[in-house]
Amino acid sequence: MSTVLDRAGKPKEKSTPASGTSRYVLVVAGLALALALAGIASLALGSVRIPPGQVLDALTGRAAPSPYRTIVLDVRLPRVLLGVVVGAGLAVVGAVLQALVNNRLADPFLLGISSGASAGAVLVLVLGVGGGVTTTIALPGGAFAGALLALVLVYGLARRGGTMTGVRLVLAGVAVSYVLSALATLLLVVAGRPEQFQEALYWSLGGLGSARWDTLALPAAVLVLGVGALLTLARPLDLLLVGEEGATVLGLDTARFRAAVFVLASLVTAVMVAASGAVGFIGLMAPHAARLAVGAPHRRLLPVAALGGALGLVLADLAARTVAAPQDIPVGVLTALIGGPFFLWLMRRRPEGAPL
């Protein structure tokens, strides 16, 4: 009678799942190679230029102790690795937030989560909680509380009657972000710690300059665990892409799932911000580029977004250290310079019918 009723209708030959897979492998391998090259370039370039041969010798342990070896292994390598970790973490969180609020304009920085995290970190700093070794825990802890608070606030403000537009979301994020930044500044003034303005400014701008081997462990561990956990949630994250109602009728308890992933996203963001300050727009740009390359399903998207974010931040930091050398520009300034216009471009070329 018709194609629809043709029960014998055989499935057409599977449309090249093989070529899809090999394309994916190609994208991942290409990004990994680019990341390795960018990393080696970052180790070689800077205020002191080191020949690539000596960089490799230092990395492979063949170099005799020398100033070059110290610069490569103790100064630049932790910084590059922190860039990898923070870039990957922010990109994955960005991708996940975009699914959670079903809006591609979401980013940990734009939604005020990063500001919440830096406000929390400043609070810990001013109160002098912990001190010494415990600072490595107290600071991210404060950042986590601030990040979660900001995310819950923004989500609550942006959502009304079950709908949430991009405009409302971004406005709420900007407003909450300003309030929390102002609060952090106020705290510093009231506490009479103007000397810590420098540190607070650093958090609000974002930079990798404080990278040391001993501050790298926590972000790296959180990245591996957080991204691992989010990867197992690829299926429910995909369900959110078809909207609240669609996800519910496909069996997802959306309220519970959102709450759980909010906590996870806040945790990853907070640890990244505690280590590097509020670096913006990586979480916006990397997932977008990754979607163009491998599509929206999260099982494929998240690893590519992570690699892309790592590559982006390592390159941005390389530029930040070399463009005005020996000046070290906060890398957040550079990502904002690129990311701001990108955000506007993304806003303008929205698919027809998509709610702004």
Per CB under 8 A, the list member of 41, 179, 201, 241 interacting with another protein is 241
Contact 112, 273 (CB under 8 A): no
Cα–Cα dist 223/269, whole Å: 10
Is residue 251 a contact point for another protein (CB under 8 A)? yes
Residue with smaller CB distance to another protein, 62 or 235: 235
3-state secondary structure at position 52: helix
Single-letter residue type at 289: A
Rounded CA separation 177/340 (Å): 16
Locus of tokens 């993304």:
346
**Shortest distance in whole angstroms from residue 308 CB to another protein:** 17
* Binding residue (CB under 8 A) for another protein from 139, 184, 233, 272: 233
Please state the closest distance from residue 282 (CB atom) to another protein, in A.
19
Task: Of 279, 273, 333, 330, give the one whose Cα is nearest residue 124.
Answer: 273
As given in the structure block, the two tokens for residue 85 are 């970790």
Of positions 37, 242, 259, 337, contacts another protein by CB under 8 A: 242
Question: From the CB of 225, what's the least distance to another protein, in Å?
Answer: 15
CB 180 within 8 A of CB 146: yes
Binding residue (CB under 8 A) for another protein from 48, 193, 215, 297: 297
Nearer to another protein, 74 or 253 (CB): 253
Tell whether the torsion through CA atoms of 102, 105, 108 and 112 is positive or negative: negative
Write down the least CB distance from residue 232 to another protein, Å.
Answer: 4
Q: How far, in Å, are 109, 221, 295, 337 from residue 151 at the CA level?
A: 11, 23, 27, 24
The contact mask relative to another protein for 94-123 (x = CB under 8 A, - = no) is ----xx--xxx-------------------
Please report how close the Cβ of residue 29 comes to another protein at its closest, in angstroms.
21
Angstrom distance (rounded) from CA 250 to CA 238? 11
Q: Which residues bind another protein (CB under 8 A)?
A: 1-7, 9-12, 14-15, 98-99, 102-104, 232-236, 238-239, 241-246, 248-253, 291, 295-297, 299, 351, 353-355
